[in-house]
Structure 1
Amino acid sequence: MTGHRMRRASLSALAAAGLIAAMAGCSGGPGEQAAAATQAGPGGPFRLFDTNGATVTEQTLKGKPYAMFFGFTRCPDVCPTTMSKMALLHKRLGADAEKMNIVFVSVDPEHDKKEDIASFLSMFDAPMIGLTGSQAELDKMAAAYKVYVERVPLPNGDYTIDHTARILLFDREGQFAERMDAAEPEGRAVARLKRLIHA
């Protein structure tokens, strides 16, 4: 088995084991709770670009329901666990899988260039849309989408990022539907996605 396949298999195992992403090190903690406590209705206009360099807006995503997650490629646990769980749920959707999109928005534009995001998403066995943009645009989007993001300096001069660990679900018109926890039982999560697809 190649290293790439082993890494993919290990990530799938993490998701299958149901690790609690919201409790892992790079989740938002108190800040995430504060963000989740804000009024409902995340969403709004944005202008980012995908891993091919193409411009993507909220209008671009219309036509299919989508699950959106904000994270960063160097995240040690929450992000790979969550995206692995989304890939697993995508498989469990069966014939409905192609009727829904999975969207990953990087909150680390300083490090995450489109090539980094493409490489990160290639670890997961499901089609995913990877997005990034300027810091100003991402800050604006995080505020509109009620996502907590905070850069945290590390003793070695590097940094990590605390961020909301919830998945945002949107209908085919781009309207916010609900939040989903990556640790939600598989059967219940699949049922929620199917309801969104067939609404």
Structure 2
Amino acid sequence: MITASSLRTRGRARWMMRLSSLALVVLVSACSSAAKPRFDLTNVTGHLPDLKFQLTADNGKTMTAKDFRGKVVMMYFGYTHCPDVCPLTMTRMHVVLQQLGKQADGIRLLFVSVDPARDTVPVLHQYVTAFDKHDVGLTGAPAQIRALAKRYRAAFDRGKVQKDGGYEVNHSAAIYIFDGKGHARVLATPATSNKDLEHDLRLLLKGA
């Protein structure tokens, strides 16, 4: 015989089951959120392709993305004749790498030239080694450089040739950062603080 009391008991039981289920969902969600790294920079995980290229390094050897597996990679498009933003960015990266101390050995900064006509291998080598031992200069045919820039939505355009034959190259200034498996993870800009950049690099070095 079903009584009002038994109905109330069943109602409470269903309510407790729903409450328990809701608590479980909240707990799982909280654990999932806690498992995700809290990057200070723009998180581009899953939004940009993995690191992939075949270019000539500043040591004269052909290198690909596979040569940097196991390293956290920062990639920057610039050129050696750049009057301001490039040397400032390279200097900032050097400061951050110094702050990381011995951990910096797990990082490589790839300086991809958007001016391959002037940035020959010797010129690139002299340029990048003047900033930091963890820097690698990369150059190649114009088509190769454009294809790589397009892959990561970077832009550059050569300005008008001046009377002395010189010219500037307008280019985007983002720093693309990849984890040890070559996955694009975060994006830095000239406005990024050294503290935020160092924070995210440490996370990636730990395998985040």
Please give the range of the TM-score, normalised by the shorter of the 2 chains: 0.7 to 0.9
Distance 1:83 1:117 in 2: 13
Distance 2:66 2:172 in 1: 24
Please identify, of 70-79 and 137-146, the stretch whose mean Cα deviation from structure 2 is larger: 137-146
CA drift at 1:101: 1.0
Distance 1:140 1:108 in 2: 14
Identify which of 143, 146, 170 aligns with 1:162.
170
**Counterparts in 2 of 1:122 and 1:45: CA distance versus 1, 3 Å:** closer
CA drift at 1:100: 1.1
Whether 1:117 aligns to 2:117 is: no
Residue 178 of structure 1 is matched in structure 2 by 186
Distance 2:97 2:198 in 1: 8
Structure 2: gaps of 5 or more residues: 1-45
| SS of alignment partner, residue 68 of structure 2 | coil
Distance 1:61 1:90 in 2: 17
CA drift at 1:40: 3.1
Whether 1:53 aligns to 2:63 is: no
Distance 1:59 1:126 in 2: 20
Identity of aligned residues (%): 34
Identify which of 88, 97, 100 aligns with 2:95.
88
Amino acid at match of 2:94: A
Amino acid at match of 1:175: H
Distance 1:108 1:185 in 2: 27
CA drift at 1:43: 4.4
Please identify, of 147-156 and 168-177, the stretch whose mean Cα deviation from structure 2 is larger: 147-156
Structure having the higher helix fraction is 2
Distance 1:164 1:42 in 2: 18
